[in-house]
A and B are shown apart, each in its own frame.
Chain A
Amino acid sequence: MVVYPLLWVVMSALKTDSEVIREPLSLFPSSLQWDNFARAWTAGIDSFFLNTLLVLVGSVFLTMLLGSMAAYALARYEFPGNRLIYWMFLSGLTLPIYLAAVPLFKGVYNTGVVLPLLGPNKHVMLILVYVAWSLSFTVFFMHSFFRTLPTAIAEAGLVDGASHTRLFFSVMLPMAKPGLISIGIFNVLGQWNQWYLPTLLMQSVAGEPKNQVIAQGLIELSVNQGYKSDWSGLFAGVTMAMLPVLIVYIVFQRQVQSGLTAGVGK
């Protein structure tokens, strides 16, 4: 039930076009057409991959760094406004993103007039937007994680004369590694699969190069390949978009399942 559609996509990616049309149901192509992948790759998937990767490296790193910094300060230090900031981050989990779509686009557009690097269709902008939208979840989880760490070690560090900042980076962060890995994987999957934000914000003006990410580009590819009747190329594209997450998932299978179910079970 799950495997058959997935396998069907992968196998169709290895067929010739006429096979896709004449024998759409058979799982076994007569000969393996690896050049479908080459064709889909040059039809745009290569740049989708590159863009996604560029954005992902920056955004996951920043999300984890800024998210755990904020969560740590909120979890371990008492100061006026602590609860307020915590609830502000938390409220982002319940609000529908569509509500913010129009002003967000306008905000990004206006910023771009002053600082082109932060305007629409720019990688740096998308990284910052991803980070901002992932903070709610990351802060929420890392907050509860830092709360469970023993205070004795932190106090010992302070007595030894370490600064708060040093304490965080060389003691607390390494101790929080299991949590960082779970949330990190979650953010990688979530941001790799992100579709609405790039569709909204990575619209290129005529003459500009298209900086589309994988999920967004795939939709366009599905429309274009449909016109060209390049079905096997489309299947190859879908397969290539699936592979990285499936590999990440299979390698980290246990963390993904326990991390996600912990998120629901709370």
Chain B
Amino acid sequence: MRHGVARFVTGFLALPVALYLFYVVWPFVQAAGYSLTDWGGYSDRQQFVGLDNYVRLLSDELIRKAFWHNVFFLVTVPLFTIALALFLAFLLNVGGREDRAGIRGVFGSGLYKVIFFFPQVLSLVVIAVMWQQIYRTDGQGLINGLLIKIGLVDADNPIAFTNDPEPFLGVPAVLWWLLLIAVWSGAGFYMVLFSAAMQSIPKDVYEAAILDGAGRFHTFFRITLPLLRDTVSVAWVYLGFIALDMFALVYVMTPSQGGPNHASEIFASVINFNAFQKGQFGYACAIAVALAIFTILLAALQLRITRRERIEY
């Protein structure tokens, strides 16, 4: 009997573990090893250089730039996505205001939930190619075309979108345009998430508030938001990971994958640039290890900050 169990467990685990070790774990271990060498990636020549790559990383101008861009996304992506998602979820669930049936959302909220979720199931690439067309700079794109038609934008001087390195509020404009896409594609998912949480808030809480004469504004900030704190903090952590992973958008949407003139570099695109364009695999691996450490630290930090006691109804 015991023998049978051992054979069974081994049989069931052998293949998945082998695959996982070979295609996931081993590359990670190797990457950590390469980060200590000066391997170029194409030759077999590699020399152990110790922590040289990491020292170099600290004074790399491009990395510093990428770091601040990552921080920018880290702050803005969760902030704007959650704000928009909360606003929409509130409208759909309690914004319809009271009538005899009690609290409910605006008309047709079920349909809106399905539609707003669409971008979540679309691939980032489909979204990126679609937004390339929306962001076209020659008056045929959706936004420029619209603005030229109503006379807000000069037809000879359309908005440059992701080609625009000029700073806006201290951050290159291209980053703001990428942010808009990220928020657009993420808000629907978090709206559905918040909706689910809002629906678990007992109705009598709202009814009591309305009896006391609370308006929409007060209902939202005094009741809905505090009761949703748990869900919002989980969403914050997840959006933090998404914000670190803006690579696909940068790769597809910006000139020379991180341009114009390195204005939209983030960690991942710097790794890509160093490994595949400059042929410095060792150095790229060091950046990647730094990114991994940064991610794990951040996750630990976020989990610490957001851990609070639960509210029970």
| A interface residues, Cβ below 8 angstroms from B | 1-3, 5-6, 8-9, 12, 20-21, 24-25, 66-67, 69-70, 72-74, 77, 79, 85, 88-89, 92, 94-96, 98-104, 106-107, 128-129, 131-133, 135-136, 139, 163-165, 168, 189, 192-196, 214-216, 218-219, 222, 231, 234-235, 238, 241-242, 245-246, 248-250, 253, 256-257, 260-261, 264-266
Contacts and interface: CB of A to CB of B under 8 A. Distances in A.
A88 B22 CA distance: 13
Contacts of B124: 193, 195, 215
Contact of B19 (A99, A104, A135, A245): A135
A132 B123 CA distance: 20
Nearest to B149: A25
Contact of A79 (B6, B114, B145): B6
B20 A89 contact: yes
A70 B26 contact: no
Contact of A245 (B123, B141, B244): B123
Contacts of B141: 24
A249 B117 contact: yes
Contact of B133 (A9, A70, A219): A9
Interface in B16-75: 16-17, 19-20, 22-28, 30-31, 34, 41
A222 B16 contact: no
A238 B196 contact: no
30 contacts: A2-B115, A24-B142, A25-B149, A73-B13, A77-B8, A88-B25, A95-B292, A95-B295, A98-B268, A98-B288, A100-B27, A100-B28, A101-B275, A101-B288, A102-B31, A103-B28, A103-B31, A128-B19, A164-B4, A165-B12, A192-B123, A193-B123, A193-B125, A194-B123, A215-B126, A216-B125, A218-B129, A219-B128, A238-B126, A256-B117
Interface of B: 4-6, 8-9, 11-13, 15-17, 19-20, 22-28, 30-31, 34, 41, 113-126, 128-134, 139-142, 145-146, 149, 184, 188-189, 192-193, 196, 231, 234-235, 238, 244-245, 247-248, 252, 267-268, 271-272, 275, 281, 284-285, 288-289, 291-292, 295-296, 299
B275 A102 contact: yes
Contacts of A132: 19-20, 22-24
B140 A21 contact: yes
B195 to A, nearest CB: 9
**Which are the 10 A-B pairs with shortest beta-carbon distances?**
A193-B123, A132-B23, A100-B27, A103-B30, A99-B288, A103-B27, A164-B8, A70-B16, A215-B125, A73-B12
